[in-house]
Copies of this chain bind each other. A is one copy, B any other.
Amino acid sequence: MNILEYMTDMGRQAREASRVMAAVGTAEKNAALLAIAEAIRSDSDAIGEANARDMAAGREAGLDAALLDRLELTPARIGGMIEGLQQVATLPDPVGEISELKYRPSGIQVGKMRVPLGVVGIIYESRPNVTAEAASLCLKSGNAAILRGGSEAIHSNQAIAECIRKGLQQAGLPETAVQVVATTDREAVGALITLPEYVDVVVPRGGKGLIERISRDATVSVIKHLDGVCHVYLDDEADADKAVAIAVNAKTHRYGTCNTMETLLVARSRAAELLPVIAREMSAAGVELRACSEARAIVNTMTVADDSDWAAEYLAPILAVKVVAGLDEAIAHINRWGSQHTDAIITENYSLARRFLREVDSSSVMVNASTRFADGFEYGLGAEIGISTDKIHARGPVGLEGLTSQKYIVFGDGQIRQ
């Protein structure tokens, strides 16, 4: 069987399973989640052994340390998968929720019902714990899932897939509700993203190259996250303590995350006061500062920034710094150079905060809070399949609700159109 046939078969089975999953009750879905958690617990030795094979192959293939770290399933990470599954079981079931039910002049009653998307494809890279996480979110939201992990994690993923199969079977749900692609052939991805008949949406999780390639080639819908070029703007009326604390936290709390600040914008009227303090704290944390000439005139240890810095997602201890005239220039800079991910203003001014909220076109817009809060858990979604920087469907952190949509429902008493 060639890859296209293999994936088409998988898609057909997923479509069939999705019909069953859409109608399954909350209790059955939760039972399956807990049974999968239990299977992972009892099979943790086998999962560890499979992971050891991947790790050995990875070392042999010369994977770098960061990649090997992401690939490793320590006992703590296996425990994390189990906890994650149990936690998703406690989340409210989004499926079937009816809202906005209103009578119309014709006498019909019109509302919306939240329903699963159908078949969700998740394409991810080295971290095998994503297999359990993605399966749990798709399952709870009533979707069938096709999961395609990184080839370097193939044995780990197949061991986890076996636990998922056991759990589904035990709960009486179709085993094809979650299918994990068993081939490392790269053509499998190409097939998965071009089967609109069987796949409703794909969520690529991984490096920018992967996501760009999938966005370009996909004929099915894609929920994607590209860059996180996040800004903090210290306004004329910023509280100095909040400004410094948030700027430092947004950059130094973690360097490699997509909601980390990459550019700091400072209002001209506050630059001389705030920049030296921030520069001192950033330097103490080992952050390199690349700045515009105006900022460098204030803190001369900063290096020169050019346009590429305004567009950079460093994911590293580097920060671009720019002095701006005020709110208008800050908003223009963010909308021009940002990635529509997460941007914050620090201000005590009510009207400026209101304008920033409305005019910054990003998936998360904040007032007086660290960009690091842009996260499904911090937002109370309970879980996160990714962060979308798209404009349609879901924007920002995508939880269970982002894996559903709403159909219209109409109740009548025999009404006909006049």
Contacts and interface: CB of A to CB of B under 8 A. Distances in A.
Interface in A215-242: 215-216, 219, 221, 223, 239, 241-242
Interface stretch (A111-119, A132-140, A147-155, A175-183): A111-119
A18 to B, nearest CB: 8
Interface string A85-112: 0000000000010000010101010100
Interface residues of A, number: 71
Nearest to A367: B411
The main secondary structure of chain A at its interface with chain B is mixed
Given A372-B416, A415-B368, A113 B357 contact: yes
B104 A22 contact: no
Nearest to A346: B414
Contacts of A410: 344, 364-367, 369, 373-374
A387 to B, nearest CB: 10
Interface in A321-375: 335, 344, 355, 357-359, 361-370, 372-374
A253 interface: yes
Contacts of A395: 405-408
Contacts of A22: 358-359, 361
Of A219, A239, A396, A415, the most chain B CB neighbours within 10 A belong to: A415
A23 interface: yes
A378 B104 contact: yes
